[in-house]
Chains A and B, each alone.
Chain A
Amino acid sequence: MTDIPTPASQTTQSEKRKGYWATVARDGQKMGFWFILPTMLLLLFIVVFPLLMQLYLSVTWWTPLEGIPWYRAWEVFSWGENYWFLLTDPRLWGALWRTVVIMGIAVPIQFFLGMALAYLFVDKFPGRKIFYSIMLTPMMVVPAVVGLMFFLLFQGTGPVNDHLGLPADFSWLTDVNRAMISVIIADIWQWTPLMFLILLAGMLGVPSDQLLAARLLGGSNWQNFLKIVLPRMKTVIIIALVLRAVECFKIFDLIFIMTKGGPGVQTETISLFLYKQTFGELEWAYVAAIGLTILFVLSVIAAKGLSYMAKKNG
């Protein structure tokens, strides 16, 4: 909006009396400012205050065990020790690495399985609706329940070992490598349906006339899939992958129930690590430092990403 100058001659005496507010009434930008001011103040309180609080705590050693309220945390000022410690904390980096590993394995598998299932379900077949409902069931189960279910399935004397003919001392959840595999299997079981649902929606959105035309021109199913379906689904695929990757990064419930991050810390992800540090060891200042660091890193990545996209779009 641009200001429209008002001729001095048109300014009435009464408008002069109204002064600044009369100007606001005519000035779209000023009016907008006053309208959004309360929201801005609220946002400032919601976002900026906790951030400052977090920043303040992160440079102290404060924990609830200090017996002093958080605003007196300056009494245990620690400079940047928490930040230095997080850079050298093998448990933090280990948790981060394991989170990335789970994400890096589970999400691609979920994607390929989801894509294959979506391809199967894109055409009509008898009982499609029933199978469709069954397929979606896992993602509707509460994650904690899925955790408990797989905890029982993977017991040494549980059904998995029983069906595979493995001995009872072939332990899944207490073995360093197999515990991770168990968790990933549980995550894949639960969240492949979501991938399937999103990809199926994308696939159904591909114009059938284009596929028909391609077939008439002699395109094979595989060629049609690669040249028409996949390109048309690009946006949906990105959304599905990002959605699952973000969710997978936050994985907590499954692991908390199945292994509690064990054996040792071998399935401890970043969420579980932060939970244990916050509510177990009560290291709130350290967690504040980690939180701010993650926020900073993600902000840089997001800014770079946006800048890249802006350049790409001209």
Chain B
Amino acid sequence: MKTDTKKGFGPSRREFLKTSTAAMAASGMGGLSAFVASPAFANGFAPGMTGGPTGFEGAERFQYNNTMSEGRAIEGIKALQAAGKAPKKISMLLTDGAIGQITKPFPDGAPSAKEVWEKETGIEIDIIGAPAEDIFKKVMQDVTTGDGTFDIYTGPWNSTGDLVSSGGAVNCSDFVAKYQPDWGDSERGTPTPEMEQLLYTYAGDYYSFSLDGDFQTWFYLKGIYEREDVQEAFMKETGHALTTPNTWEEVDRISEFFTGKDFGHGTMYGNGNLMSPFWGLATFYARFASMDFPNYHFFDEDGNPNLNSDLGIQCAEEHVRSFEWCPPDALTFTWAEAYAAMWNLQIPHTAIYTNLVKFGDGYNPDGTAKSKATGMIGSHLPVGRQFGDQINRRSVLYYHITAWISSKSDYPEAVYLFLQWLSSTRTYTWMAGNPGGYFDPMQQANFKEPLVASTYHDYAMETIPATIARSVPSINFAGQTALDNALDEEIQAAITGQKTAREAMDAAQKKWERIIKRQKRNGIVEAIQASRKTWPTIVDPA
């Protein structure tokens, strides 16, 4: 992408007219010029609003003006266009499954988010898809060997440290100060300033744009839990009433009970949590985080791993044991197979991505149920461990589609403004309600929105934010891939019986120590210390 260069001694008549019109739009006469330049925008906007989606009931909730985050982004783009500093096209590398949320119109009568942006700014968004598991490899290929194919990278939030460390992401702190996004808005944005830091910053600077809500949330088959015969059988076998679990001990008891039983829908397997390579790390981290009160960190304050501590080994033993209650082939499961297991009533509960219910609970436009589990799913708070009369319920933030601006982009400010527009609380809330992709709700405004509630269901509107408040970050600092892979391999070795839990944790500890030693010069210890500060301290009464 290149800016137009002046070939003569002065601007041509055409260039002059183009520039002066755009400059007028960016100046104090913006309102008038916007009306003159694009009269169609005047239709369908609520009073005082200048942009956003139109054409459906409730559209005004997602509209904005220049006192709002999205409006400031649009205004900023127009100023850049006036100054000749905006591109004609922005290219975005995005996980395949999320594309629909930007490109598919929602709800009926509405445009797509992409259409709204392109209509308001004239800047085309070119989206290139890649599989979720491999997208960061493509990002690093572009960073190391590419020629700036993409203006925007997306990938797991966990990879932020790796990308920043490689110099592949633009530090957006100045842009954030200039354009004031509403990510941390106390009413509409993240629930706490710490969460804003966690999702949008790295080492104190703004690099990330949060486009997801991958806080592992517990779902269960309420329709089966509440059946009388199931209740009776559980009581008879365990001596306890079958209720939603509060602790990992209760989770394991329920898992053990359901395994091998058939309550009229085929054989069930008790443990629906992901245990497979890559995806299963989230399950391990969540269990690990609650091993001590209020938290058990992956590293101590000096950056030394806690993997082969007594609690770390106990966690690994419990994790390995829980595999007994998994469905066959669980080690080859991605989230998709885990979703299917619950939709087919094969597992009673799972802590997983929130769009499980978006895609599997409800009815299709033709009136057919989305899955066998339609109407049977419920949600509950994360589980933890009981310490005295308190429980430290913990979940984990893992994967979580995040965008970064490529350091090779020719127009970082314009790209920033697109991402501010996309990730601000009005546009993002509108997108989060769209059932066409993976972007899950995570901002406070999202959970107050009827469209989001209709997609993610009322029963999750309280449990998801409560889960977010109790979530610990998984690893996201430089060296993350190596750290996660090292631990993952050892956990898999323990699950498949090649090593004991202790041997696996000892080996993982050594690998982590080596990686940390090598990453010390890249500030890994400081990043670990910063990450520890973002862990929640909230605990609940037992």
Query: Do these two chains interact?
Result: yes
Contact of A174 among B162, B482, B490, B496 (CB under 8 A): B496
Report if B170 contacts A (CB, 8 A): no
Contact of A155 among B165, B329, B482, B518 (CB under 8 A): B329
Alpha-carbon distance between A173 and B482 when the two chains are bound, in angstroms: 24
Report if B141 contacts A (CB, 8 A): yes
Smallest CB–CB gap between B481 and chain A, Å? Answer: 6
Q: List B residues 61-109 near A (Cβ within 8 Å).
A: none
Judge whether A281 and B481 touch: CB under 8 Å: yes
Contact of B277 among A65, A175, A260 (CB under 8 A): A260
Judge whether A176 and B498 touch: CB under 8 Å: yes
Contacts of B490 in A (CB 8 A): 264
Report if A169 contacts B (CB, 8 A): yes
Contact of B522 among A66, A91, A175 (CB under 8 A): A66
Going nearest first, the 4 A-B pairs with the smallest beta carbon separation are A156-B328, A174-B331, A264-B492, A264-B493
Contacts of A263 in B (CB 8 A): 331, 492-493, 495-496
Report if A265 contacts B (CB, 8 A): yes
1/0 per residue B460-491: CB within 8 Å of A? 00000000000000000011011001000110
Contact of B137 among A171, A173, A262, A280 (CB under 8 A): A280
Report if A19 contacts B (CB, 8 A): no
Alpha-carbon distance between A76 and B141 when the two chains are bound, in angstroms: 21
| Contacts A64-B166, A65-B478, A175-B496 given; does A279 touch B328 at CB 8 Å | no
Contact of B329 among A66, A171, A176, A265 (CB under 8 A): A171
Report if B450 contacts A (CB, 8 A): no
Contacts of A283 in B (CB 8 A): 482
Smallest CB–CB gap between B321 and chain A, Å? Answer: 16
Judge whether B493 and A174 touch: CB under 8 Å: no
Report if B167 contacts A (CB, 8 A): yes
Judge whether B332 and A173 touch: CB under 8 Å: yes
Report if A276 contacts B (CB, 8 A): yes
Closest chain A residue to B145, Cβ basis: A64
Closest chain A residue to B492, Cβ basis: A264
Report if A224 contacts B (CB, 8 A): no
Report if A58 contacts B (CB, 8 A): no
Judge whether B328 and A168 touch: CB under 8 Å: yes
1/0 per residue A155-192: CB within 8 Å of B? 11100000000001111011110000000000000000
Report if A113 contacts B (CB, 8 A): no
Q: List A residues 181-216 near B (Cβ within 8 Å).
A: none
Contacts of B332 in A (CB 8 A): 151, 155, 173-174, 259, 262
| Contacts A173-B332, A176-B497 given; does A279 touch B482 at CB 8 Å | no
Report if B330 contacts A (CB, 8 A): yes
Judge whether B329 and A281 touch: CB under 8 Å: no
Dominant SS among interface residues on chain B: helix
Closest chain A residue to B331, Cβ basis: A174
Report if A314 contacts B (CB, 8 A): no
Report if B377 contacts A (CB, 8 A): no
Contacts of B238 in A (CB 8 A): none
Report if A150 contacts B (CB, 8 A): no
Additional 6 contacts, C-beta under 8 A, given A64-B140, A156-B329, A279-B140: A64-B143, A171-B329, A174-B330, A262-B277, A264-B495, A266-B496
Contacts of A279 in B (CB 8 A): 137, 140-141
Smallest CB–CB gap between B295 and chain A, Å? Answer: 27
Judge whether B479 and A65 touch: CB under 8 Å: yes
Judge whether B137 and A157 touch: CB under 8 Å: no
Closest chain A residue to B490, Cβ basis: A264
Contact of B485 among A64, A151, A276 (CB under 8 A): A276
Contacts of A170 in B (CB 8 A): 328
Report if B173 contacts A (CB, 8 A): no
Judge whether A171 and B328 touch: CB under 8 Å: yes
Judge whether B144 and A264 touch: CB under 8 Å: no
Ordered by A's residue number, 14 sampled pairs between the chains whose C-beta atoms are within 8 Å are A64-B166, A65-B165, A65-B478, A66-B166, A67-B166, A76-B521, A156-B328, A156-B329, A173-B329, A175-B496, A263-B493, A264-B496, A276-B485, A281-B482
- Chain A positions within 8 Å of B, measured between CB atoms, are 61, 64-68, 76, 91, 151, 155-157, 168-171, 173-176, 259-260, 262-266, 276, 279-283
- Chain B positions within 8 Å of A, measured between CB atoms, are 137, 140-141, 143-144, 162, 165-167, 267, 277, 327-332, 478-479, 481-482, 485, 489-490, 492-493, 495-498, 518-519, 521-522
| Contacts A64-B166, A176-B497, A281-B485 given; does A262 touch B492 at CB 8 Å | yes
Closest chain B residue to A70, Cβ basis: B144
Alpha-carbon distance between A91 and B508 when the two chains are bound, in angstroms: 13
Alpha-carbon distance between A73 and B144 when the two chains are bound, in angstroms: 14
Listed residue (A263, A279, A283) with the most chain B CB atoms within 10 angstroms of its CB: A263
Listed residue (B329, B482, B496) with the most chain A CB atoms within 10 angstroms of its CB: B329
Smallest CB–CB gap between A195 and chain B, Å? Answer: 30
Contacts of A76 in B (CB 8 A): 521
Contacts of A280 in B (CB 8 A): 137, 481-482, 485
Alpha-carbon distance between A280 and B133 when the two chains are bound, in angstroms: 11
Contacts of B165 in A (CB 8 A): 65-67
Alpha-carbon distance between A54 and B166 when the two chains are bound, in angstroms: 19
Contacts of A157 in B (CB 8 A): 328-329
Contacts of B518 in A (CB 8 A): 61
Smallest CB–CB gap between B410 and chain A, Å? Answer: 20
Contacts of A276 in B (CB 8 A): 485
Closest chain A residue to B499, Cβ basis: A264
Contacts of B143 in A (CB 8 A): 64
Judge whether B496 and A282 touch: CB under 8 Å: no
Closest chain B residue to A260, Cβ basis: B277
Alpha-carbon distance between A168 and B166 when the two chains are bound, in angstroms: 45
Alpha-carbon distance between A67 and B140 when the two chains are bound, in angstroms: 12
Contacts of A67 in B (CB 8 A): 165-167, 522
Judge whether B481 and A282 touch: CB under 8 Å: yes
Smallest CB–CB gap between A150 and chain B, Å? Answer: 12
Alpha-carbon distance between A157 and B329 when the two chains are bound, in angstroms: 9
Smallest CB–CB gap between A80 and chain B, Å? Answer: 15
Closest chain A residue to B482, Cβ basis: A281
Alpha-carbon distance between A156 and B490 when the two chains are bound, in angstroms: 24
Smallest CB–CB gap between A19 and chain B, Å? Answer: 47
Contacts of A91 in B (CB 8 A): 489
Closest chain A residue to B269, Cβ basis: A169
Contacts of B137 in A (CB 8 A): 279-280
Alpha-carbon distance between A192 and B215 when the two chains are bound, in angstroms: 48
Judge whether B331 and A282 touch: CB under 8 Å: no
Smallest CB–CB gap between A31 and chain B, Å? Answer: 40
Contacts of A265 in B (CB 8 A): 489, 492-493
Alpha-carbon distance between A61 and B495 when the two chains are bound, in angstroms: 32
Contact of B144 among A64, A171, A262 (CB under 8 A): A64
Contacts of B493 in A (CB 8 A): 263-265
Contacts of A281 in B (CB 8 A): 481-482, 485
Closest chain B residue to A278, Cβ basis: B137
Smallest CB–CB gap between B460 and chain A, Å? Answer: 30
Closest chain B residue to A261, Cβ basis: B277
Judge whether A65 and B496 touch: CB under 8 Å: no
Alpha-carbon distance between A279 and B166 when the two chains are bound, in angstroms: 13
Smallest CB–CB gap between B513 and chain A, Å? Answer: 14
Contacts of B267 in A (CB 8 A): 168
Contacts of A155 in B (CB 8 A): 328-329, 332
Alpha-carbon distance between A101 and B97 when the two chains are bound, in angstroms: 38
Contacts of B498 in A (CB 8 A): 176, 264, 266
Contacts of B140 in A (CB 8 A): 64, 279, 282
Alpha-carbon distance between A68 and B498 when the two chains are bound, in angstroms: 39
Smallest CB–CB gap between B301 and chain A, Å? Answer: 23
Contact of A65 among B166, B489, B497 (CB under 8 A): B166
Contacts of B277 in A (CB 8 A): 260, 262
Contact of B489 among A61, A259, A264 (CB under 8 A): A264
Contacts of A151 in B (CB 8 A): 332
